[in-house]
């Protein structure tokens, strides 16, 4: 079928646009003509997990998928900060203080509910028609607009300093990189994402997704 909802388990090391390009090429070869393909919310190249692609006439429904809530498993490194909020930036040590588990639970609880976020400048958000990350690379100075997002839940899955693994359910538009940095700031020790996996979008689970290699067979 040309008109599909494609659940993809994105691997690390490729952009969401890169996945779209591979699927588009695969479908063009399969059907013998160009097939429209788009994604419904990007994942950074270092991140893995559920990426929903739409093909053919289903691309007209992209806005419906963009608004869905999401679930992530995020790995943070405490005591450090990154210029990009992830492993791809310049890493700088903040301090050696080790928060205990009780303090971490207390700080995480303060993020539950509607909060304000300033998205990272290294993001695909458009500012005056230009991608923010491209403006940063050009040395353009600009302010990122603050947005309101909802954090429904945050659970600690593992904690052994400096590694903190959390599962969070959030509204569409939430940046987990920013959430990680804000958690580190409130703890007073700094933090950045070392790994990120999107496990759910609305009712769609990564457990039902195909790997890129399996899909392209």
Choice among 3, 9, 44, 100 that is catalytic = 44
User: What span, in angstroms and rounded, lies between the C-alpha atoms of 85 and 119?
Assistant: 11
Angle at 173 between CA 172 and CA 177, to 5 degrees: 120
> 104 CB contacts (<8 Å, ≥6 apart)?
156, 159, 164, 187
Annotated catalytic residue 3: no
Q: Which residues carry out catalysis? A: 44
């Amino acid at each position: 079928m040309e008109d599909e909802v494609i659940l993809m388990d994105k691997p690390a090391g490729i952009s969401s646009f890169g996945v779209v390009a591979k699927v588009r090429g695969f479908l063009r070869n399969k059907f013998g003509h160009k097939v429209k393909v788009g994604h419904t919310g990007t994942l950074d190249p270092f991140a893995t997990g559920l990426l929903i692609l739409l093909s053919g006439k289903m691309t007209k429904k992209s806005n419906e998928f963009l608004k869905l809530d999401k679930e992530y498993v995020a790995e943070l490194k405490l005591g450090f900060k990154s210029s990009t909020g992830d492993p791809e930036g310049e890493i700088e040590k903040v301090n050696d203080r080790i928060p205990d588990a009780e303090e971490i639970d207390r700080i995480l609880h303060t993020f539950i509910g509607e909060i304000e976020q300033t998205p990272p400048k290294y993001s695909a958000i458009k500012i005056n028609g230009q991608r923010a990350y491209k403006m940063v690379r050009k040395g353009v100075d600009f302010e990122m607009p603050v947005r309101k997002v909802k954090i429904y839940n945050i659970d600690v899955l593992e904690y052994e300093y400096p590694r903190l693994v959390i599962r969070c359910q959030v509204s569409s538009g939430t940046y987990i990189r920013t959430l990680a940095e804000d958690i580190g700031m409130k703890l007073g020790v700094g933090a950045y994402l070392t790994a990120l996996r999107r496990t759910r979008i609305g009712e769609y689970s990564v457990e039902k997704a195909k790997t890129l290699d399996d899909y392209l067979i």
